[in-house]
Amino acid sequence: MSSGADLIRDAKEQIREVDPKEVHELLERRNGEVVVDVREQQEFEQSHIPGAVHVPRGHLESRIEGATGDKSERVVLYCASGNRSALAARTLLNDLGYSNVESMIGGIALWKDRGYDVETPRRLTDGQRERYSRHILIPEIGLDGQLKLLDAKVLLLGAGGLGSPTALYLAAAGVGTLGIVDDDVVDLSNLQRQVMHSQDRIGAPKVDSAEQAINGINPDVDVVKYQTRLDASNIMEIIDGYDVIVDGVDNFPTRYLLNDATVRLRIPVVSASILGFDGQLSVFAPYEGPCYRCLYPTPPPAELAPSCGANGVLGALPGIMGVLQAIEVVKLVTGSGDPLIGRLLLYEALSTSFTDLKLRRDPDCPICSRDPQEISDEEMGVFPDYEAFCAAAG
């Protein structure tokens, strides 16, 4: 029975070892050689050689072929000190049919001693790793996607029926900054659907109630509160710097204003609306798909507009539409899937049906047919008969 030290000595006799200096030169030339880090996940995440691929020794047999090309190509393995990589190199040579394998002498420790660069990727804390573990397990999100979510700045217009589920799920998902614009206070009649608020917060500003709910789920989220109404005087200042805007506003004038400002700043808007048992959802990505004005050059007749007074809505409806908004935000931030750009999703709760309509850009759209810098302050949010519009509906 040989000892561990014997085994390592044996392995080193059977393989070729290479000095860090030579590996450094290899990486500078980049001629297709593959440098493989065989250490554990945590060790790799702390720091690794730039350009190295990661195949933990425990997964060598199952993953090495995905990381390397032809089995005759040169593969250099390294670990912390050169022992594990020697054993791994022997496995590649003897058991897996690789013919040009080497192990780096002294591992990353000697590499660092020689003063060569290492890459220190951003890491999640242990708490974050546990909190977001179910995201990290999905390949389309993974660690990279989670880091993007943590870096993301998302602005919610309205902390009401739609804003409630969106805010709660985005907070849970780890969106790093959530801005909330709402000038209202929590009212008893809100609680039928605005699940972010609660009985004991009736009378409190919705932005404060929202902050409490969000940080109750995830204290990592930075909540930026705007207890105000979005209007022409403040919109550019408020929305500038956000990556995505979630639109749950309930009136047409603000929708037009928001559209024009977001086209000018090229910020995508995830927009939903609800009435009765019906919901609509779309993503307006400036210059990629249609904008709101491409679809609705003018608002509907005031008497048909649902937006200016109190209307009935099924309590759970904003729940489903708000969660769909949250999913679109996650897709936009992480770059996964196909966001609902150029499509309008209709949900009819009474019949339980989803319909997906194609939407096209209007080449003559008064806003998005032009360059962003051509859109002036004066025309933003303006549409025919603006003042008469809500007065008639009121």
Catalytic residue positions, numbered: 308
Backbone angle region of 332, left / alpha / beta, with phi > 0 → left and psi within -120 to 50 → alpha: alpha
* Mask for 246-285, x = binds Zn ion (CB under 5 A): ----------------------------------------
- 180 versus 294: smaller Cβ distance to Zn ion: 294
Task: Kindly tell me which residue out of 293, 314, 329, 347 binds Zn ion, with binding defined by CB under 5 A.
Answer: 293
- 11 versus 263: smaller Cβ distance to Zn ion: 263
Task: Kindly tell me which residue out of 149, 365, 375, 393 binds Zn ion, with binding defined by CB under 5 A.
Answer: 365
SS3 call for 133: helix
Structure tokens at 204: 């409190």
Min CB(255)–Zn ion separation in Å: 13
Task: Kindly tell me which residue out of 79, 110, 269, 291 binds Zn ion, with binding defined by CB under 5 A.
Answer: 291
Backbone angles phi, psi at 283, to 5 degrees: -115, 120
Min CB(370)–Zn ion separation in Å: 9
Q: How many residues bind Zn ion, per CB under 5 A? A: 5
Is residue 81 within 8 A of residue 41, CB to CB? The reply is no
- 287 versus 354: smaller Cβ distance to Zn ion: 287
- 226 versus 383: smaller Cβ distance to Zn ion: 383
Is residue 26 within 8 A of residue 51, CB to CB? The reply is no
Does 368 interact with Zn ion (rule: CB under 5 A)? yes
- 171 versus 365: smaller Cβ distance to Zn ion: 365
Span near Zn ion by CB under 5 A; candidates 75-83, 116-124, 291-299, 384-392: 291-299
Min CB(382)–Zn ion separation in Å: 15
Site for Zn ion in 55-94 (CB under 5 A): none
Distance set, CA 294 to CA 157, 256, 270, 284, 378 (Å): 21, 11, 16, 10, 19
Sequence-distant (≥ 6) Cβ neighbours of residue 179 within 8 angstroms: 153, 154, 155, 156, 223, 224, 225, 226, 238, 242
Min CB(365)–Zn ion separation in Å: 3
Min CB(335)–Zn ion separation in Å: 24
DSSP state letter for 228: S
Sequence-distant (≥ 6) Cβ neighbours of residue 4 within 8 angstroms: none
Does 380 interact with Zn ion (rule: CB under 5 A)? no
Structure tokens at 102: 């080497």
β-pairing, 16-18 vs 34-37, is: unpaired
- Binding residues (CB under 5 A) for Zn ion: these are 291, 293-294, 365, 368
